[in-house]
Chains A and B, each alone.
Chain A
Amino acid sequence: MELEPLKLEIEAAVPGCRLEIIPNLGPSAQHSLLVDPEHGLAVAFYLRDAAEFDFCTNVTGVDWPPRELTEKIKIKQIVEGVEKDVDQIRKVQIPGYLEAVYHLYSIERRLGPLPLRMRTADRDSCTHLPSLTTVWRSAEFQEREVYDLYGIYFDGHPDLRRLLMWDSFVDYPMRRDYVEPDDYEYEPTAHDQVLARAKEHASKAGAL
Protein backbone atom coordinates (compact mmCIF):
# COMPACT_ATOMS: atom_id res chain seq x y z
CA MET A 1 0.00 0.00 0.00
CA GLU A 2 1.41 3.37 -0.98
CA LEU A 3 1.84 5.57 2.04
CA GLU A 4 3.36 8.68 0.45
CA PRO A 5 0.15 9.95 -1.18
CA LEU A 6 -1.79 9.23 2.00
CA LYS A 7 0.75 11.15 4.03
CA LEU A 8 0.44 14.16 1.77
CA GLU A 9 -3.35 14.02 1.98
CA ILE A 10 -3.32 13.93 5.74
CA GLU A 11 -0.77 16.74 6.02
CA ALA A 12 -2.98 18.86 3.84
CA ALA A 13 -6.12 18.09 5.80
CA VAL A 14 -4.73 18.31 9.34
CA PRO A 15 -2.45 21.33 9.46
CA GLY A 16 0.44 21.16 11.86
CA CYS A 17 0.62 17.42 12.19
CA ARG A 18 3.99 15.77 12.06
CA LEU A 19 3.83 12.54 10.13
CA GLU A 20 6.64 10.16 9.41
CA ILE A 21 6.65 6.96 7.42
CA ILE A 22 8.49 4.25 9.33
CA PRO A 23 9.78 1.72 6.83
CA ASN A 24 9.38 -1.91 7.68
CA LEU A 25 12.79 -3.50 7.34
CA GLY A 26 11.51 -7.01 6.86
CA PRO A 27 10.05 -8.59 3.73
CA SER A 28 6.44 -8.11 4.77
CA ALA A 29 6.60 -4.47 3.60
CA GLN A 30 3.95 -3.28 6.04
CA HIS A 31 5.20 0.26 6.47
CA SER A 32 3.78 2.35 9.30
CA LEU A 33 2.67 5.90 9.75
CA LEU A 34 3.98 7.64 12.83
CA VAL A 35 1.87 10.55 14.07
CA ASP A 36 2.59 12.92 16.91
CA PRO A 37 0.30 12.61 19.95
CA GLU A 38 -1.06 16.16 19.74
CA HIS A 39 -2.65 15.60 16.34
CA GLY A 40 -3.34 11.90 16.75
CA LEU A 41 -7.06 12.33 17.23
CA ALA A 42 -7.50 14.64 14.25
CA VAL A 43 -5.49 12.35 12.00
CA ALA A 44 -7.50 9.37 13.19
CA PHE A 45 -10.77 11.11 12.38
CA TYR A 46 -9.46 11.95 8.93
CA LEU A 47 -8.37 8.38 8.34
CA ARG A 48 -11.71 7.03 9.41
CA ASP A 49 -13.95 9.48 7.58
CA ALA A 50 -12.12 10.65 4.48
CA ALA A 51 -9.70 7.82 3.84
CA GLU A 52 -12.32 5.22 4.85
CA PHE A 53 -10.12 3.22 7.22
CA ASP A 54 -13.07 2.26 9.31
CA PHE A 55 -11.88 -1.06 10.70
CA CYS A 56 -9.34 -0.77 13.48
CA THR A 57 -8.62 -4.37 14.27
CA ASN A 58 -5.64 -4.32 16.56
CA VAL A 59 -4.26 -1.99 19.20
CA THR A 60 -0.88 -2.99 20.56
CA GLY A 61 1.60 -1.56 22.96
CA VAL A 62 5.33 -1.90 22.44
CA ASP A 63 8.02 -1.06 24.93
CA TRP A 64 11.27 0.33 23.59
CA PRO A 65 13.78 0.73 26.40
CA PRO A 66 16.73 3.08 25.78
CA ARG A 67 18.85 1.55 23.04
CA GLU A 68 22.24 2.12 21.53
CA LEU A 69 22.61 1.84 17.78
CA THR A 70 26.03 1.46 16.23
CA GLU A 71 26.28 3.01 12.80
CA LYS A 72 29.09 2.96 10.35
CA ILE A 73 29.37 6.26 8.57
CA LYS A 74 31.83 7.71 6.12
CA ILE A 75 33.34 11.06 6.96
CA LYS A 76 35.90 13.02 5.11
CA GLN A 77 39.25 13.15 6.82
CA ILE A 78 42.68 14.23 5.77
CA VAL A 79 44.89 11.15 5.81
CA GLU A 80 48.52 11.66 4.82
CA GLY A 81 47.70 14.90 3.10
CA VAL A 82 44.90 13.42 0.92
CA GLU A 83 41.23 13.91 1.67
CA LYS A 84 39.60 10.52 1.84
CA ASP A 85 36.36 8.90 3.00
CA VAL A 86 37.06 7.12 6.24
CA ASP A 87 34.77 4.63 7.99
CA GLN A 88 33.90 5.62 11.48
CA ILE A 89 31.78 3.78 13.97
CA ARG A 90 29.32 6.05 15.68
CA LYS A 91 27.17 5.04 18.60
CA VAL A 92 23.77 6.71 18.74
CA GLN A 93 21.80 6.70 21.96
CA ILE A 94 18.10 6.40 21.33
CA PRO A 95 16.06 7.32 24.41
CA GLY A 96 13.34 4.94 25.47
CA TYR A 97 9.65 5.39 24.75
CA LEU A 98 6.39 3.49 24.75
CA GLU A 99 4.49 3.05 21.57
CA ALA A 100 0.87 2.35 20.68
CA VAL A 101 0.30 0.72 17.29
CA TYR A 102 -3.12 0.67 15.65
CA HIS A 103 -3.70 -1.63 12.68
CA LEU A 104 -6.27 -0.15 10.33
CA TYR A 105 -8.11 -1.77 7.47
CA SER A 106 -10.53 -0.36 4.95
CA ILE A 107 -13.43 -2.63 4.16
CA GLU A 108 -14.75 -0.67 1.20
CA ARG A 109 -11.44 0.10 -0.44
CA ARG A 110 -9.98 -3.31 0.45
CA LEU A 111 -6.81 -1.82 1.88
CA GLY A 112 -4.72 -2.73 4.80
CA PRO A 113 -3.03 -3.25 7.12
CA LEU A 114 -2.01 0.32 7.88
CA PRO A 115 -0.10 0.44 11.14
CA LEU A 116 -0.60 3.83 12.80
CA ARG A 117 1.90 4.55 15.54
CA MET A 118 2.03 7.03 18.38
CA ARG A 119 4.97 7.34 20.69
CA THR A 120 5.21 8.74 24.17
CA ALA A 121 7.95 11.14 25.10
CA ASP A 122 9.56 8.79 27.58
CA ARG A 123 8.85 5.74 29.69
CA ASP A 124 8.56 7.28 33.12
CA SER A 125 6.68 10.52 33.49
CA CYS A 126 5.23 11.54 30.13
CA THR A 127 3.30 8.45 29.17
CA HIS A 128 0.11 10.07 27.92
CA LEU A 129 -1.42 9.51 24.51
CA PRO A 130 -4.82 10.49 23.12
CA SER A 131 -7.42 7.76 23.20
CA LEU A 132 -8.91 6.84 19.85
CA THR A 133 -12.00 5.23 21.35
CA THR A 134 -14.24 7.98 20.02
CA VAL A 135 -12.95 7.23 16.55
CA TRP A 136 -13.03 3.44 16.63
CA ARG A 137 -15.03 1.68 19.31
CA SER A 138 -12.78 -1.37 19.09
CA ALA A 139 -10.03 0.57 20.83
CA GLU A 140 -12.00 0.59 24.07
CA PHE A 141 -10.90 -2.71 25.56
CA GLN A 142 -7.59 -2.87 23.77
CA GLU A 143 -6.44 0.53 25.04
CA ARG A 144 -7.40 -0.59 28.51
CA GLU A 145 -5.19 -3.61 28.01
CA VAL A 146 -2.30 -1.47 26.80
CA TYR A 147 -2.76 0.75 29.85
CA ASP A 148 -2.84 -2.30 32.09
CA LEU A 149 0.22 -3.99 30.68
CA TYR A 150 2.38 -1.06 29.58
CA GLY A 151 1.31 1.97 31.53
CA ILE A 152 0.30 4.30 28.71
CA TYR A 153 -2.42 6.69 29.89
CA PHE A 154 -5.03 7.27 27.19
CA ASP A 155 -6.55 10.70 27.66
CA GLY A 156 -10.19 10.76 26.81
CA HIS A 157 -10.85 7.08 27.32
CA PRO A 158 -14.30 6.60 28.85
CA ASP A 159 -13.29 3.94 31.34
CA LEU A 160 -9.55 3.58 31.78
CA ARG A 161 -8.86 0.87 34.29
CA ARG A 162 -7.03 -2.38 34.34
CA LEU A 163 -8.38 -5.13 32.17
CA LEU A 164 -6.47 -8.36 32.71
CA MET A 165 -4.67 -7.77 35.99
CA TRP A 166 -6.66 -7.13 39.14
CA ASP A 167 -7.49 -3.54 39.99
CA SER A 168 -5.04 -2.94 42.78
CA PHE A 169 -2.09 -4.43 40.93
CA VAL A 170 0.96 -2.22 40.84
CA ASP A 171 3.49 -2.13 38.02
CA TYR A 172 3.13 -2.88 34.35
CA PRO A 173 3.88 -6.49 33.47
CA MET A 174 4.67 -6.37 29.77
CA ARG A 175 7.46 -3.81 30.08
CA ARG A 176 10.88 -5.17 29.27
CA ASP A 177 12.27 -4.30 32.69
CA TYR A 178 9.45 -5.79 34.73
CA VAL A 179 10.70 -7.80 37.68
CA GLU A 180 8.26 -10.44 38.72
CA PRO A 181 7.51 -10.79 42.43
CA ASP A 182 8.95 -13.87 44.02
CA ASP A 183 5.96 -14.77 46.11
CA TYR A 184 5.00 -17.64 43.89
CA GLU A 185 4.46 -21.08 45.26
CA TYR A 186 7.33 -22.96 43.77
CA GLU A 187 7.23 -26.69 43.55
CA PRO A 188 10.67 -28.16 44.26
CA THR A 189 11.24 -30.02 41.00
CA ALA A 190 14.54 -30.65 39.33
CA HIS A 191 16.09 -27.43 38.14
CA ASP A 192 18.76 -25.89 40.31
CA GLN A 193 17.72 -22.29 39.90
CA VAL A 194 14.08 -23.02 40.68
CA LEU A 195 15.04 -25.11 43.69
CA ALA A 196 17.39 -22.41 44.96
CA ARG A 197 14.74 -19.74 44.62
CA ALA A 198 12.16 -21.89 46.34
CA LYS A 199 14.49 -22.47 49.27
CA GLU A 200 15.27 -18.77 49.49
CA HIS A 201 11.61 -17.90 49.41
CA ALA A 202 10.77 -20.51 52.02
CA SER A 203 13.46 -19.22 54.37
CA LYS A 204 12.24 -15.64 53.90
CA ALA A 205 8.66 -16.66 54.58
CA GLY A 206 9.78 -18.57 57.67
CA ALA A 207 11.69 -15.55 58.93
CA LEU A 208 8.70 -13.21 58.51
Chain B
Amino acid sequence: MLGEGIIKGLAETARNFFGSYLTKERLTTVQYPEERLPQNEAFRNFPFLVFDGADSEAGLRCVSCHICEKECPPKCIFIEKSKDKKPDAVGKPQFYPVVFDIDVSVCMSCQICVEVCPFDAIKMDVEYDYPTEDRFAALLFNKHQLAKSNDYYHQIHPTEASAVDAALAAERESAAAKAAATAAAAAKTAAAKVSAESRAVKASPDSAVESITEPPLSGGDGL
Protein backbone atom coordinates (compact mmCIF):
# COMPACT_ATOMS: atom_id res chain seq x y z
CA MET B 1 0.00 0.00 0.00
CA LEU B 2 1.47 3.38 -0.85
CA GLY B 3 2.24 5.35 2.23
CA GLU B 4 2.59 2.34 4.49
CA GLY B 5 6.09 3.33 5.56
CA ILE B 6 4.94 6.82 6.42
CA ILE B 7 2.05 5.53 8.49
CA LYS B 8 4.33 3.17 10.39
CA GLY B 9 6.62 6.07 11.08
CA LEU B 10 3.79 8.19 12.31
CA ALA B 11 2.70 5.37 14.58
CA GLU B 12 6.18 5.40 16.07
CA THR B 13 5.98 9.15 16.63
CA ALA B 14 2.58 8.73 18.24
CA ARG B 15 3.95 6.05 20.54
CA ASN B 16 6.71 8.38 21.65
CA PHE B 17 4.31 11.27 22.10
CA PHE B 18 1.71 9.45 24.14
CA GLY B 19 4.36 7.42 25.89
CA SER B 20 5.88 10.62 27.22
CA TYR B 21 2.79 11.03 29.37
CA LEU B 22 3.07 7.53 30.71
CA THR B 23 6.76 6.60 31.14
CA LYS B 24 9.54 8.69 32.58
CA GLU B 25 12.18 7.68 30.00
CA ARG B 26 10.31 9.19 27.11
CA LEU B 27 9.95 12.60 28.75
CA THR B 28 13.49 13.80 28.87
CA THR B 29 12.91 17.55 28.97
CA VAL B 30 14.28 19.33 32.01
CA GLN B 31 12.75 22.72 32.74
CA TYR B 32 16.01 24.58 33.10
CA PRO B 33 16.74 26.82 35.08
CA GLU B 34 14.02 25.96 37.57
CA GLU B 35 14.87 22.28 37.39
CA ARG B 36 18.41 21.10 37.10
CA LEU B 37 19.93 17.71 36.50
CA PRO B 38 22.26 16.51 39.23
CA GLN B 39 25.81 17.34 38.31
CA ASN B 40 28.39 14.64 37.81
CA GLU B 41 31.17 14.66 40.35
CA ALA B 42 33.80 14.54 37.64
CA PHE B 43 32.47 17.63 35.85
CA ARG B 44 35.10 20.28 35.33
CA ASN B 45 34.91 23.86 34.21
CA PHE B 46 37.63 26.37 35.13
CA PRO B 47 40.57 25.93 37.51
CA PHE B 48 40.86 27.26 41.04
CA LEU B 49 43.63 27.38 43.62
CA VAL B 50 43.35 25.31 46.80
CA PHE B 51 44.33 26.61 50.21
CA ASP B 52 44.48 24.61 53.42
CA GLY B 53 43.08 25.98 56.61
CA ALA B 54 41.30 29.28 56.94
CA ASP B 55 43.77 31.82 55.61
CA SER B 56 43.83 32.00 51.83
CA GLU B 57 47.24 33.64 51.78
CA ALA B 58 49.07 31.55 54.33
CA GLY B 59 47.55 28.21 53.41
CA LEU B 60 47.86 28.51 49.63
CA ARG B 61 49.46 25.35 48.31
CA CYS B 62 50.86 26.98 45.19
CA VAL B 63 54.63 27.50 45.34
CA SER B 64 54.85 29.37 42.04
CA CYS B 65 56.83 26.72 40.19
CA HIS B 66 55.39 27.90 36.84
CA ILE B 67 54.84 24.37 35.55
CA CYS B 68 51.13 24.93 34.89
CA GLU B 69 51.95 28.17 33.12
CA LYS B 70 54.38 26.40 30.81
CA GLU B 71 52.13 23.44 30.08
CA CYS B 72 48.89 25.35 29.60
CA PRO B 73 48.10 24.91 25.86
CA PRO B 74 46.41 28.28 25.22
CA LYS B 75 48.76 30.01 27.69
CA CYS B 76 46.03 31.56 29.78
CA ILE B 77 47.86 31.41 33.13
CA PHE B 78 50.10 34.25 34.21
CA ILE B 79 52.17 33.90 37.39
CA GLU B 80 54.62 36.16 39.12
CA LYS B 81 56.85 34.62 41.75
CA SER B 82 57.49 36.34 45.06
CA LYS B 83 60.91 37.46 46.21
CA ASP B 84 60.52 36.22 49.78
CA LYS B 85 59.39 32.86 51.08
CA LYS B 86 56.63 31.87 53.42
CA PRO B 87 56.23 28.63 55.36
CA ASP B 88 53.96 26.04 53.75
CA ALA B 89 51.69 23.46 55.39
CA VAL B 90 54.60 21.56 56.96
CA GLY B 91 56.55 24.67 57.82
CA LYS B 92 59.09 24.55 54.99
CA PRO B 93 59.75 28.01 53.50
CA GLN B 94 58.48 28.18 49.90
CA PHE B 95 57.98 30.85 47.29
CA TYR B 96 54.41 31.91 46.68
CA PRO B 97 52.68 33.59 43.75
CA VAL B 98 52.32 37.34 44.04
CA VAL B 99 50.22 37.41 40.89
CA PHE B 100 48.26 34.41 39.63
CA ASP B 101 45.91 35.30 36.80
CA ILE B 102 43.83 32.99 34.68
CA ASP B 103 42.11 34.40 31.65
CA VAL B 104 38.94 32.32 31.56
CA SER B 105 37.88 33.70 28.20
CA VAL B 106 40.91 31.83 26.84
CA CYS B 107 40.93 28.79 29.13
CA MET B 108 39.63 25.70 27.41
CA SER B 109 39.11 23.59 30.53
CA CYS B 110 41.50 20.94 29.33
CA GLN B 111 42.69 20.16 32.88
CA ILE B 112 46.36 19.84 31.92
CA CYS B 113 47.35 22.36 34.62
CA VAL B 114 45.78 20.07 37.23
CA GLU B 115 47.56 17.05 35.82
CA VAL B 116 51.04 18.54 35.87
CA CYS B 117 50.90 20.38 39.19
CA PRO B 118 53.27 18.55 41.58
CA PHE B 119 51.79 20.20 44.66
CA ASP B 120 48.04 19.54 44.17
CA ALA B 121 47.60 23.28 44.30
CA ILE B 122 45.31 23.85 41.33
CA LYS B 123 42.13 21.87 40.77
CA MET B 124 39.06 22.13 38.57
CA ASP B 125 36.05 24.05 39.76
CA VAL B 126 32.47 23.33 38.70
CA GLU B 127 31.06 26.86 38.56
CA TYR B 128 29.83 27.77 35.11
CA ASP B 129 27.67 30.80 35.83
CA TYR B 130 29.87 33.76 34.95
CA PRO B 131 27.71 36.09 32.90
CA THR B 132 29.18 39.56 32.78
CA GLU B 133 29.02 42.71 30.72
CA ASP B 134 32.73 43.37 30.84
CA ARG B 135 34.47 41.18 28.31
CA PHE B 136 37.99 41.76 29.43
CA ALA B 137 38.60 42.53 33.08
CA ALA B 138 35.72 40.52 34.50
CA LEU B 139 36.90 37.36 32.76
CA LEU B 140 40.41 37.67 34.11
CA PHE B 141 40.45 35.92 37.46
CA ASN B 142 43.14 36.95 39.92
CA LYS B 143 44.57 35.06 42.86
CA HIS B 144 41.90 36.13 45.34
CA GLN B 145 39.06 35.12 43.08
CA LEU B 146 40.73 31.81 42.36
CA ALA B 147 41.71 30.82 45.88
CA LYS B 148 39.12 28.54 47.46
CA SER B 149 39.43 26.42 50.54
CA ASN B 150 40.09 22.73 50.78
CA ASP B 151 36.66 22.33 52.38
CA TYR B 152 35.10 23.72 49.24
CA TYR B 153 37.16 21.22 47.24
CA HIS B 154 35.77 18.43 49.41
CA GLN B 155 32.27 19.69 48.68
CA ILE B 156 32.58 19.68 44.93
CA HIS B 157 34.79 16.66 44.33
CA PRO B 158 34.59 14.50 47.47
CA THR B 159 36.37 11.36 46.23
CA GLU B 160 39.13 13.28 44.51
CA ALA B 161 39.67 15.57 47.49
CA SER B 162 39.86 12.69 49.93
CA ALA B 163 42.38 10.93 47.72
CA VAL B 164 44.47 14.09 47.48
CA ASP B 165 44.32 14.62 51.24
CA ALA B 166 45.35 11.03 51.88
CA ALA B 167 48.25 11.35 49.45
CA LEU B 168 49.43 14.60 51.00
CA ALA B 169 49.14 13.21 54.50
CA ALA B 170 51.13 10.12 53.51
CA GLU B 171 53.77 12.36 51.95
CA ARG B 172 54.00 14.45 55.09
CA GLU B 173 54.23 11.36 57.26
CA SER B 174 57.02 9.84 55.26
CA ALA B 175 58.83 13.19 55.18
CA ALA B 176 58.44 13.50 58.95
CA ALA B 177 59.54 9.90 59.48
CA LYS B 178 62.58 10.47 57.33
CA ALA B 179 63.38 13.67 59.20
CA ALA B 180 62.99 11.89 62.53
CA ALA B 181 65.17 9.02 61.35
CA THR B 182 67.94 11.34 60.17
CA ALA B 183 67.69 13.33 63.42
CA ALA B 184 67.91 10.15 65.49
CA ALA B 185 70.84 8.90 63.44
CA ALA B 186 72.61 12.24 63.80
CA ALA B 187 72.01 12.21 67.54
CA LYS B 188 73.30 8.64 67.87
CA THR B 189 76.46 9.33 65.88
CA ALA B 190 77.07 12.45 67.95
CA ALA B 191 76.61 10.45 71.17
CA ALA B 192 78.87 7.66 69.89
CA LYS B 193 81.52 10.22 68.99
CA VAL B 194 81.38 11.80 72.46
CA SER B 195 81.63 8.44 74.26
CA ALA B 196 84.47 7.32 71.95
CA GLU B 197 86.37 10.49 72.76
CA SER B 198 85.86 10.07 76.47
CA ARG B 199 86.96 6.42 76.27
CA ALA B 200 90.03 7.45 74.31
CA VAL B 201 90.89 9.88 77.09
CA LYS B 202 90.40 7.23 79.75
CA ALA B 203 92.11 4.40 77.88
CA SER B 204 95.60 5.83 78.38
CA PRO B 205 98.13 3.43 80.14
CA ASP B 206 98.09 5.17 83.54
CA SER B 207 94.38 4.68 84.00
CA ALA B 208 94.29 0.96 83.22
CA VAL B 209 92.66 0.23 86.59
CA GLU B 210 89.68 2.49 85.99
CA SER B 211 89.16 1.15 82.50
CA ILE B 212 88.04 -2.21 83.87
CA THR B 213 84.93 -0.59 85.34
CA GLU B 214 83.99 0.92 81.93
CA PRO B 215 81.04 -0.78 80.38
CA PRO B 216 81.94 -2.73 77.22
CA LEU B 217 81.47 -0.93 73.91
CA SER B 218 78.25 -2.07 72.34
CA GLY B 219 78.62 -2.08 68.59
CA GLY B 220 75.18 -3.34 67.68
CA ASP B 221 72.71 -0.50 67.82
CA GLY B 222 74.88 2.54 67.62
CA LEU B 223 74.26 3.11 63.98
Chain A residues close to B by CB (< 8 Å): 187-191
Q: Does B168 contact A (CB under 8 A)?
A: no
Interface-central residue, A187, A189, A191, by most chain B CB under 10 Å: A189
* B interface residue numbers (CB < 8 A to A): 75, 78, 101, 103, 105-106, 135-136, 140
Residue pair B103, A190 in contact (C-beta under 8 Å): yes
Do B75 and A187 touch (CB < 8 A)?
no
Q: Can you spell out 8 A-B residue pairs with CB atoms less than 8 angstroms apart? A: A187-B105, A189-B103, A189-B105, A189-B136, A190-B78, A190-B101, A190-B103, A191-B75
Enumerate chain B residues within 8 angstroms of A188, measured Cβ to Cβ.
Answer: 136
- With most chain B CB atoms within 10 A of its CB, the pick from A187, A190, A191 is A190
Q: State A191–B140 Cα separation when bound (angstroms).
A: 11
Additional A-B contact list (12), CB under 8 Å, known A187-B135, A189-B106, A189-B140: A187-B105, A187-B136, A188-B136, A189-B103, A189-B105, A189-B136, A190-B78, A190-B101, A190-B103, A190-B140, A191-B75, A191-B78
- B contact residues around A189 at 8 Å (CB): 103, 105-106, 136, 140
A187 to B75 CA separation, bound complex (whole angstroms): 14
CA distance A190 to B136 in the complex (A): 10
Query: When A and B form their complex, which 6 residue pairs have the shortest distance between CB atoms, in order from nearest?
Result: A190-B78, A190-B101, A189-B103, A189-B140, A191-B78, A187-B136
Residues of chain B with a CB closer than 8 A to A187's CB: 105, 135-136
| Interface SS, A side | loop
Q: Which residues of B contact A191 (CB under 8 A)?
A: 75, 78
Q: Which residues of chain A come closer than 8 Å to B101, judged between CB atoms?
A: 190
A11 to chain B, nearest CB (A): 46
CB distance from A201 to the nearest CB of B (A): 16
Nearest Cβ on chain B to A177's Cβ, whole angstroms: 22
Contacts of B105 in A (CB 8 A): 187, 189
State the CA gap A12–B136 with chains docked (Å). Answer: 66
A82→B78 CA distance, assembly (Å): 62
Chain B residues contacting A190 (CB-CB under 8 Å) are 78, 101, 103, 140
Separation of A187 and B101 alpha carbons in the complex (Å): 15
| C-alpha gap A187/B105 in the complex (Å) | 10
Q: What A residues does B75 contact at CB under 8 A? A: 191
Question: Which residues of A sit under 8 angstroms from B78, Cβ to Cβ?
Answer: 190-191
Docked pose: A191 CA to B105 CA in angstroms:
14
CA distance A189 to B75 in the complex (A): 12
Q: Which residue of A lies closest to B75 (CB)?
A: A191
**Distance (whole angstroms) from the CB of A117 to the closest CB of chain B:** 31
Who on chain B is nearest to A194 by CB? B75
Task: Report how far A191 CA is from B102 CA in the complex, Å.
Answer: 10
Closest Cβ of chain A to B197, distance in Å, is 56
Once the chains are docked, how many angstroms separate the CA of A188 from the CA of B101? 13
Q: Shortest beta-carbon distance, B122 to chain A, in Å?
A: 16
Per the bound structure, the CA–CA distance linking A80 and B137 in Å amounts to 73
A152: min CB distance to chain B, Å: 30
Complex-state Cα separation, A108 to B103, whole angstroms: 53
Residue of B nearest to A192 (CB): B78
| CA distance in complex: A190, B141 (Å) | 10
Return B195 CB to nearest CB of chain A, in Å: 58
Smallest beta-carbon distance B138→chain A, Å:
11
Q: How far is the CB of B154 from chain A (nearest CB, A)?
A: 30
Whole-angstrom distance from the CB of A180 to the nearest CB of chain B? 16
Q: In whole angstroms, what is the CA distance A123 to B135 when docked?
A: 43
Bound CA span A100–B192, Å = 75
Task: Name A188's closest neighbour in chain B (CB-CB).
Answer: B136
B101 and chain A: residue at smallest CB distance: A190
Q: How far is the CB of B143 from chain A (nearest CB, A)?
A: 12
Chain A residues near B135 (CB, 8 Å)? 187
Tell me the bound Cα distance from A187 to B134 in angstroms: 12
Residue of B with least CB distance to A189: B103
Q: Which single residue of chain A is at the shortest CB-CB distance from B135?
A: A187
Separation in Å of the B73 CB from the closest CB of chain A?
15
Residues of A within 8 A of B103 (CB): 189-190
